[in-house]
């Protein structure tokens, strides 16, 4: 209480002493950040915060010249709790914007809060497709700086065609994220002549794939997987253990830098797609990886990179807006006008407020990278699809005319 009083007095004195000009520079940008700091996603939640905080630390706690008050709130990985905390940040802390949210379901839950409270919400990880697609008009104060679930997997479908794969089995975790990743892959893969011959949906958190692996069709020539958390570790181990040698084309999250250090040599050669890899060989990314690793003792994954980039984006936008926060509508316009050079490569917003970004087809290799002296697993980039939009090559109107990717869309035409 006394501290608050002090602040007020101090602020008052400053305003008197320095006149009006000082007010603009002394203005503070209040950012509310929502991430699961406790619960089963606590480690991911920490990576998210670390990415954002690292950018702040590198820039003296300022974005675009404004002092930043960065308030982290814990949503425990529950959409309900996320909504409560977002309201707390808006009502009590009077934040200018809400950032974060890990799960797609949290993203869906937070977007309406931004509408009802007329506060900017930046989704820096959460990837639920429809928020920047068919439901966009409901959420005028919503921007995404990360990705849609299907965005990197549509190019992967093309890549599979180009590399001679004909028949693919899809096995993906049984929830919206699994459907959207697998759907994006299947749609593009079948449009360029491939066939998805089998679709299997193991429940989220499956640890024993014994019942699924023997049912794989014998005539397939690759497997597409979306595995999250412990599933990502178990599946390749059990698949190879069962003697199955089919190549894997995976979702990026099955092999991202968050799980990679815990994987064994059985994953070498597995291919996956994402909008980031720690092994992107650019000076910008190398500097980012080295700084992050020096600070936190591990290689950054997309959870950290996405938030680092979000902070960078805010920095540029505040600068461009003249060192102040101009309100959500204006700020979104400024953000949309910025072309960013991030660790993950060039990023900009499309007209639906979702990033257009590079997609990297990655292969797990054991090698030395960036001058580190140990052999480690890295996601080597084997092909880059530059400036990929969430609508891939279909165009916005044609893409939005189809339903959102789901368990039953696209239908499995070639499964008997």
Partner 1 sequence: MSQQQIKILIVVAVFGALALIVPHSGSFVVLLATRAMAFAILAMSVDLLLGFTGLSSMGQAAYFGVGAYLTAVLATKVHFGLGWDFWLVVVMGILLGAALAALFGLFAIRAGGVYFLMITLALGQCVWGLAYRWNSLTGGDNGINMSGRPNFGLDLTNEVTFFYLVFAFFAVSMALMYVLVRSPFGQSLAGIRERELRMQILGYNTWLHKYIVFIIAGGFGGLAGVLWAHTNGHVSPETVVLTTSVDSLLMVVLGGAGTLVGATIGTAIVFGLREYLSTLVPWWQYVLGGVYVLTILYLPMGLMGILARTGERLKSESKDERPKKLATKPS
Rounded CA gap, 155 and 146, in Å?
Answer: 17
Write down the H helix ranges in 118-260: 153-162, 176-191, 230-241
Q: How many CB atoms lie within 10 A of CB 25?
A: 12
CA distances from 208 to 230, 233, 239, 399 (A): 11, 11, 10, 36
Rounded CA gap, 212 and 171, in Å?
Answer: 9
Q: Least distance (Å) from partner 1 to the CB of residue 101?
A: 12
Q: Which is nearer to partner 1, 176 or 220 (CB)?
A: 176
Write down the H helix ranges in 163-282: 176-191, 230-241
Q: Are 123 and 143 in contact (CB under 8 A)?
A: yes
Residue-by-residue DSSP string for 189-203: HHHTT-EEEEEE-PP
Q: Least distance (Å) from partner 1 to the CB of residue 30?
A: 14
Asked if the bond preceding 410 is cis, omega within 30° of 0, the reply is: yes
Judged by the rule CB under 8 A, the positions of this chain that interact with partner 1 are: 37-38, 73-74, 78-81, 83-85, 87-88, 91-92, 104-105, 108-109, 111-113, 116, 128, 138, 174-177, 406-407
Q: Which is nearer to partner 1, 81 or 349 (CB)?
A: 81
Residues forming beta bridges with residue 363, ordered by sequence position: 271, 380
Q: Least distance (Å) from partner 1 to the CB of residue 362?
A: 26
Q: Least distance (Å) from partner 1 to the CB of residue 409?
A: 11
Distance of CA 343 to the CA centre of its chain: 14
Q: Least distance (Å) from partner 1 to the CB of residue 137?
A: 12
Q: Least distance (Å) from partner 1 to the CB of residue 90?
A: 9
Q: Least distance (Å) from partner 1 to the CB of residue 392?
A: 22
Torsion of CA 159, 198, 256, 237, to 10 degrees: -120
Q: Least distance (Å) from partner 1 to the CB of residue 45?
A: 12
Q: Least distance (Å) from partner 1 to the CB of residue 79?
A: 5
Residues 6 or more apart whose CB falls under 8 angstroms from that of 376 comprise 261, 299, 366, 367, 368, 369
Q: Which is nearer to partner 1, 75 or 316 (CB)?
A: 75
Q: Which is nearer to partner 1, 261 or 403 (CB)?
A: 403
Q: Which is nearer to partner 1, 298 or 407 (CB)?
A: 407
Q: Least distance (Å) from partner 1 to the CB of residue 157?
A: 23
Q: Which is nearer to partner 1, 23 or 38 (CB)?
A: 38
Secondary structure letter of residue 343 according to DSSP? T
Q: Which is nearer to partner 1, 109 or 182 (CB)?
A: 109
First to last CA, the chain: 70
Q: Which is nearer to partner 1, 22 or 116 (CB)?
A: 116
Rounded CA gap, 176 and 409, in Å?
Answer: 12
φ, ψ at 197 (rounded to 5°): -100, -10
Environment class of 124 (CB within 10 Å of its CB; exposed 0-12, middle 13-18, buried 19+): buried
Q: Which is nearer to partner 1, 161 or 404 (CB)?
A: 404
Q: Which is nearer to partner 1, 131 or 364 (CB)?
A: 131
């Amino acid at each position: 209480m006394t501290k608050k009083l002090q602040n007020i007095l101090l602020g008052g004195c400053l305003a008197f002493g320095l006149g009006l000009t000082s007010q603009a520079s002394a203005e503070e940008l209040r950012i509310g950040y929502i991430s699961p700091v406790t619960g089963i996603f606590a480690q991911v939640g920490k990576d998210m915060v670390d990415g954002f905080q690292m950018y702040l630390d590198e820039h003296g706690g300022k974005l675009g010249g404004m002092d930043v008050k960065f308030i982290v709130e814990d949503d425990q990985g529950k959409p309900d709790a996320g909504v409560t905390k977002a309201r707390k940040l808006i009502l009590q802390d009077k934040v200018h914007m809400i950032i974060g949210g890990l799960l797609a379901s949290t993203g869906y839950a937070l977007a309406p809060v931004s509408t009802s409270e007329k506060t900017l919400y930046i989704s820096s990880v959460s990837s639920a497709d429809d928020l920047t697609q068919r439901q966009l008009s409901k959420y005028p104060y919503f921007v995404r700086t990360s990705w849609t679930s299907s965005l990197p997997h549509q190019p992967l479908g093309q890549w599979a065609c180009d590399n001679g794969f004909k028949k693919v089995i899809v096995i993906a975790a049984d929830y919206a994220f699994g459907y959207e990743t697998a759907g994006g892959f299947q749609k593009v893969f079948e449009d360029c002549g491939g066939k998805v011959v089998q679709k299997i949906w193991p429940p989220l958190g499956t640890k024993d794939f014994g019942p699924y692996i023997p049912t794989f069709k014998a005539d397939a020539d690759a497997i597409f997987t979306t595995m999250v958390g412990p599933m990502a570790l178990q599946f390749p181990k059990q698949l190879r253990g069962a003697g199955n040698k089919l190549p894997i084309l995976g979702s990026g999250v099955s092999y991202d830098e968050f799980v990679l250090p815990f994987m064994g040599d059985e994953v070498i050669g597995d291919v996956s797609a994402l909008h980031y890899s720690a092994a992107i060989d650019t000076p910008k990314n190398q500097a980012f990886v080295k700084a992050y690793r020096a600070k936190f003792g591990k290689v950054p994954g997309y959870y950290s990179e996405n938030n680092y980039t979000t902070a960078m984006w805010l920095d540029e936008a505040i600068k461009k807006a003249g060192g102040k926060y101009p309100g959500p509508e204006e700020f979104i316009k400024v953000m949309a006008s910025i072309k960013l050079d991030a660790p993950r490569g060039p990023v900009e917003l499309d007209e639906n407020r979702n990033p257009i970004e590079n997609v990297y087809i990655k292969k797990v290799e054991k090698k030395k990278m960036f001058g580190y002296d140990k052999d480690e697993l890295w996601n080597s980039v084997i092909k880059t699809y530059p400036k990929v939009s969430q609508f891939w090559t279909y165009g916005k109107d044609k893409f939005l005319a189809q339903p959102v990717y789901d368990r039953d869309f696209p239908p499995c035409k070639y499964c008997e």
